[in-house]
Amino acid sequence: MRFIDSKYGAKRRASQGLAIASISTLALVGCGNDADQGGDASEVDETFDITYTTYSTQESDQSITVQRWAEEVEELTEGGISVNFHYSGSLVDAEDSLQATTDGRADLAQVGSIYAGSDLPMYTVAEMPFETENPEAQLRSLNRLYEENDAYRSNFEDQGVRQLFPLPIGIATLGLNDPAESLEDVSGRSIRAGGVVGDAFVAAGANPVGMVATDIYESMSRGVIDGYTSLGLSNLSTFGLADNTPYIVEPGIGSYASSVVVMSEDLFTSMPEAYQDAVLEASRNAVEYGLEELDQAAEQACEELREEGTEFSSFSSDEVESWQNEAGLAEEWVQSGDEGAESVLEDYRSFIEDAAAESDYTDPLIACMEID
């Protein structure tokens, strides 16, 4: 990868030395003959230097996943596409990532479901608790939704972006200062939780507290909160929580959030066909990259938790089923959503079932709990 100072979107330069005056001129050129070039990438005489914005740190498993994707794209295009990374919100804030991709400040962006409610409402189905405990199934279902569900895909098209691939987060972990043998034991406790997961804990009688992840460690240490969730196992070492969480519960919430990498549709369609094929091929492989990086980050957290003597437990399946029914979050999402929400939820569940049947993946939290 080449790291190029490209502040305002994609800059292309023809290898024969053509002068490029502006981004708009480039889009017009890309929509001409070059965009129709198929065949081998070595036959293409253009270079794209594209800008990626993310709220994740450079060392996070999600950023490493995108780095691997970018390396594959550059290899497949023989250096024709390179990516300039901007980490930790250094280019734009997390909530502005999607807009930055449409207004030219960036070409690629990590877009979190928690920030996407107004612009990509169908995508927030990924935040629905209790749907799956298999992150691979969630990832593959989100890809299928984009490919096969018109209501889901149209949200992205209306924003002028293309979903390339989702990034894994892992299932929800519940970290506590004191043990909880049952869901009833959580009632009355102050639990850091975000998004729809917070609504689920309201239904359980807990008090959800909105809080950035970087404040959890101190808040747990001082007793400001009794516990935290809306984090996967792979996040715990990053925020120092693997060495100050005496009790970990697998609460049965499962996958609880998502983020996706999107690309400007104008940029994608301006690329030669060979480059488009390369982007799509690498994107198909990105799910595997993401799961590998998720596992590696979570393995470190698991080792640290076990070294600290953390006790692991889970709520019973009967408790979780009753919790899901009482919360009624899926029904509420459909009723409050736009036209097409019901079809999105139905397909999401169907695609998850299909993917889970073909998957042998085990979430790192469940794998950690199964260690003798």
What structural domains does the chain harbor?
A: 48-172+252-370 (3.40.190.170)
Contact predicate 68/289, CB 8 Å: yes
Question: What tens digit of pLDDT does each residue of 154-194 get?
Answer: 999 999 999 999 999 999 999 999 999 999 999 999 999 98
Residue 32: per-residue pLDDT: 38
Residue the block writes with tokens 């081998």: 40
Contact predicate 161/116, CB 8 Å: no
Contact predicate 275/81, CB 8 Å: yes
Residue 338: per-residue pLDDT: 83
Q: Is 3's pLDDT higher than 90? A: no
Residue 38 is encoded by which pair of tokens?
A: 């198929």
- Angle at CA 126, nearest 5°, toward 124 and 128? 90
| Pairwise CA distance, residues 55 & 35, whole Å | 31
Question: What tens digit of pLDDT does each residue of 93-129 get?
Answer: 999 999 999 999 999 999 999 898 899 999 999 999 9
Residue 212: per-residue pLDDT: 87
Claim: this prediction has a pTM higher than 0.85: yes
| Pairwise CA distance, residues 26 & 299, whole Å | 45
Q: Looking only at Cα atoms, what is the longest distance across the chain?
A: 69
Q: Is 28's pLDDT higher than 70? A: no
CA-wise closest residue to 229 among 276, 172, 275: 172
Residue 166: DSSP 8-state: E
CA-wise closest residue to 164 among 35, 4, 11, 271: 271
Contact predicate 286/71, CB 8 Å: no
| Pairwise CA distance, residues 195 & 116, whole Å | 11
Residue the block writes with tokens 């502006």: 22
Helices 273-307, 135-148: crossing angle, 10 deg rounding: 160
Residue 4: per-residue pLDDT: 32
Question: What tens digit of pLDDT does each residue of 234-285 get?
Answer: 999 989 999 999 999 999 999 999 999 999 999 999 999 999 999 999 999 9
For the purposes of burial, counting CB atoms within 10 Å of the CB of 42, is it exposed (0-12), middle (13-18) or buried (19 or more)?
exposed
Per-residue pLDDT averaged across 207-211, rounded? 95
Which helix (DSSP H) or strand (DSSP E) does residue 59 occupy?
none
Residue 38: per-residue pLDDT: 54
